Amino acid sequence: MIHSGARIRADHDRMREVNEWVTREQENIVEDPSFMVVSAATIEEVFPWEDLHISNDSVTVQLPLGGNDASLVYQIYGHLHLMVAMGRQEEWLPEAPDAVGYDLERAIVKRSADAWVLGRTVFDTQPFAPLDELAYSSEEGYLDAFIFTARPDEFAASRAEYVRANPDAMENYRDWFVDTFSREPPGIRSN
C-alpha cells in the first residue's frame, strides 16, 4: 500500500512463477564468475535505467541510498541488459528471445516491475517511490505509458505508434498517476 491507499493485489500463482525466476537470477548474479553486477551508491532518486553502464563483462547500476530493499531489482535490470550484451538473451528473457529496441526494453522493465511487486506483496519490502511508481503503473496496465512518459527522448517511433493506437492513454495515465501518487509522473515533474 502507498500513501493514497492504493494497493497491489498479486495473483499467488503468478508470484510463485516470478519468485522462481527472481531466485534463479539472484543466484546467477551472485554465483556466476563470468560477469559482475556492480552497485554504485547515489544520493539521487533514480530509476534502474538511469546511468547504467555496461563494459565488457560487467554492468554498473546506480542504487539510491535508502533503497536497500530495491537493490535486487536494480541488479536484475542491469543483469538482464548485460545478459543481452553477452548473447544470453534467450536464456534470461524467454518471453522475448529476439526482441530489440523498445520491445526488449519493455520486457526488461516488465520483469523489474514484477520483481518489485513480488517484494512488496510477498516479502513486505519497504515502499520505495521509483519502483512503487513503476510497479503500480505496470499493474494498472500503464507500463507503456509509464515508460514513454518517464523516458520522453527514447523510443520515438514506438511511442508514436502507441499514441496513434491509444489516443487517450497518455492523458488517462497522467490522471491516474496524479490521483494515485499526488504528483506528476516522472518525465513531466521537475525533480
Domain ranges of the chain: 12-181
Q: pTM for the whole thing?
A: 0.93
Per-residue DSSP letter, 23? H
Alpha-carbon gap, residue 22 to 115, rounded angstroms: 7
Give all strands of the β-sheet with 58-64 in edge-to-edge order: 36-42, 58-64, 53-55
Q: What is the pLDDT of residue 191?
A: 53
Alpha-carbon gap, residue 70 to 134, rounded angstroms: 12
Say if CB 54 and CB 101 are below 8 A apart: no
Which residues, 6 or more positions from 135, have their beta carbon under 8 angstroms from its beta carbon?
A: 8, 113, 114, 116, 117, 120
pLDDT digits (tens, 9 = 90+) for 1-30: 455 566 677 888 999 999 999 999 999 999
Cα 129 off chain centre by: 12
pLDDT digits (tens, 9 = 90+) for 133-156: 999 999 999 999 999 999 999 999
pLDDT digits (tens, 9 = 90+) for 55-109: 999 999 999 887 788 999 999 999 999 999 999 999 999 999 999 999 999 999 9
